[in-house]
Chain A
Amino acid sequence: MERNQANPEPGANNFNDARMEAIMGRLLQVGVLLAASVVLAGGAMFLRAQAGDPASYRTFVAHRLELRHPASLLGGLLRGDASSVIELGILLLIATPICRVIFAVVGFAIERDRLYVAISLTVLAVLLFGMLRGG
């Protein structure tokens, strides 16, 4: 009785939400491990190339990465540039929560919950705006 009160549509809804969350949790964990491995590899390359150089983060020199123009990142990766490998790892990391939202859109669609499909799509649109609009 308590549960029906809490869940306006009694039935499988609660179970589906729990399953969706469990899959999402896994998805995020795998994404983070993958991203961390790539960053670690890039970091090792970075240190091997520049271990003796002085660290210089006192003054800000913008090293821009425009996601609207991925060519520079791809070029760096092909050259085996350590910074580009780290950036790829960071992009994978940023992609994990975005994938979670995409997955939520699909999950809510399976549950035929139009309201939350719309809400998730709104969040996704804001995320993509932030990624592609740039500074």
Chain B
Amino acid sequence: MPLLTFTSLVFLGSFLAGLLGALTGLGGGVVLIPLLTLLFHVDLRYAIGASLVSVIATSSGAADAYVREGFSNMRIGMFLEVATTVGAVFGAYLATRAPTRALAVVFGVVLIYSAWLSRTQNPHPVEQAAVNPWSDKLRMSGSFPDGNGGRQSYRVDRISWGFAAMFGAGTLSGLLGIGSGAVKVLAMDKIMRIPFKVSTTTSNFMIGVTAAASAGIYLARGYIDPGLSFPVMLGVLAGSLLGAKLLVQTHVTLLRTIFALVILALGVEMIVNGWLGKV
């Protein structure tokens, strides 16, 4: 395929991945990497590198909109970034040493897990958790606008478990070049009992910093190919910005279901291809 055609198609595919990722809240990386490897026959390592770049772009690009909503908690984010960045450096080291086939299988498992999460992930009602003294000591307790002009306060629970889960999220991010936003939200929302909106907006901030931690290792290893990364980065960024705008007016339940099924199918295919050594 001539480079111009290839680049245009990759841009289009990345745009759709970014759009769907933003609309469904699952992020672009999960569908981008299978798209590049299975459809465009790009080597998995190039796909991971290009995806990581696009993850940083979407995270930083959406930050301003999220901040204006007033939900994100910078201290929680910074504290947990200690775990995600260390995990990301570790994950990137693993990625450069693990065989591509193994990476493909791990990626497939993550895809299937994401599909399952997206079917069950519902904001739970804010419950007052048991008072964890460290929530105040680490100054992570906060408040968010309750929609009626007041503020709803919250505390953070099970901090060490959340910290450990964040190390895992960072490792996955560095290993597979994805934002692993779903795992980050899971850790904050379900483990640390941080309100859902605070979890998702804070997670967005953390994704960029986490990805930046493994980017240097990817660059040094030659995973980030300029010719492939540029249509991917620009496509995903444009798609996700449009998706964030549309999100307000779109009914996403059906879309989420379809997207979850697509991810499930891609996950199975990644595992099969990895197993057979076709990646």
Contact surface of A with B, Cβ cutoff 8 Å = 2-3, 5-9, 14, 17-18, 20-22, 24-26, 28-29, 31-32, 35-36, 39-40, 42-43, 46-47, 50-55, 57-67, 82-84, 86-87, 89-90, 93-94, 96-98, 100-101, 104, 113, 115-116, 119-120, 122-123, 126-127, 129-135
In the complex, which residue of chain A has the Cβ closest to the Cβ of B44? A60
Given known A-B contacts A53-B3, A96-B208, A3 and B226 have beta carbons under 8 A apart: no
Q: Can you list the 7 inter-chain pairs with the closest CB atoms, starting with the nearest? A: A62-B222, A134-B220, A6-B153, A25-B67, A131-B216, A55-B6, A86-B226
Q: Are B215 and A7 within 8 A (Cβ)?
A: no
9 pairs, CB–CB < 8 Å, chain A vs chain B = A3-B153, A6-B142, A24-B74, A25-B66, A39-B234, A65-B220, A96-B60, A131-B216, A135-B217
Rounded to whole Å, the gap between the CB of B228 and the closest CB of chain A is 6
Q: Are B212 and A98 within 8 A (Cβ)?
A: yes
Residues in B whose Cβ lies below 8 Å from that of A24: 63, 67, 74
* Residues of chain B from 205 to 234 with CB closer than 8 A to chain A in the complex: 205, 208-209, 211-217, 219-231, 233-234
Most buried by B among A14, A25, A51, A126: A126
Is B273's beta carbon under 8 Å from chain A? no
Residues in A whose Cβ lies below 8 Å from that of B40: 57
Q: Are A86 and B229 within 8 A (Cβ)?
A: yes
Rounded to whole Å, the gap between the CB of B192 and the closest CB of chain A is 16
Q: Are A58 and B42 within 8 A (Cβ)?
A: yes
Q: Are B43 and A59 within 8 A (Cβ)?
A: yes
Given known A-B contacts A29-B60, A29-B61, A63-B222, A43 and B82 have beta carbons under 8 A apart: no
Given known A-B contacts A42-B226, A52-B4, A64 and B215 have beta carbons under 8 A apart: no
Residues in A whose Cβ lies below 8 Å from that of B65: 25
Q: Are B215 and A130 within 8 A (Cβ)?
A: yes
- The residue that B212 contacts in the complex, of A43, A58, A97, A104, with Cβ under 8 A, is A97
Rounded to whole Å, the gap between the CB of B49 and the closest CB of chain A is 10
Q: Are A133 and B3 within 8 A (Cβ)?
A: no
Residues in A whose Cβ lies below 8 Å from that of B92: 130
- Render B46-79 as a binary contact track against A, CB cut-off 8 A, 1 for contact: 1000000100110111011111101010110011
Is B118's beta carbon under 8 Å from chain A? no
Is B119's beta carbon under 8 Å from chain A? no
Label chain A's interface by main secondary structure.
helix
Q: Complex Cα distance A87/B53, Å? A: 11
Q: Are A57 and B228 within 8 A (Cβ)?
A: yes
Known: A87-B219, A134-B220. 12 other contacts (CB 8 A): A7-B143, A21-B72, A24-B67, A28-B63, A35-B57, A36-B233, A43-B7, A94-B53, A96-B60, A97-B209, A130-B217, A134-B221
Is B160's beta carbon under 8 Å from chain A? no
Is B88's beta carbon under 8 Å from chain A? yes
Q: Complex Cα distance A51/B215, Å? A: 28
In the complex, which residue of chain A has the Cβ closest to the Cβ of B36? A57
- The residue that B75 contacts in the complex, of A66, A82, A116, A122, with Cβ under 8 A, is A116
Q: Are A62 and B221 within 8 A (Cβ)?
A: yes
Q: Are B3 and A7 within 8 A (Cβ)?
A: no
Is B81's beta carbon under 8 Å from chain A? yes
Q: Are B42 and A133 within 8 A (Cβ)?
A: no
Is B276's beta carbon under 8 Å from chain A? no
* Residues of chain B from 1 to 25 with CB closer than 8 A to chain A in the complex: 1-7
Rounded to whole Å, the gap between the CB of B205 and the closest CB of chain A is 8
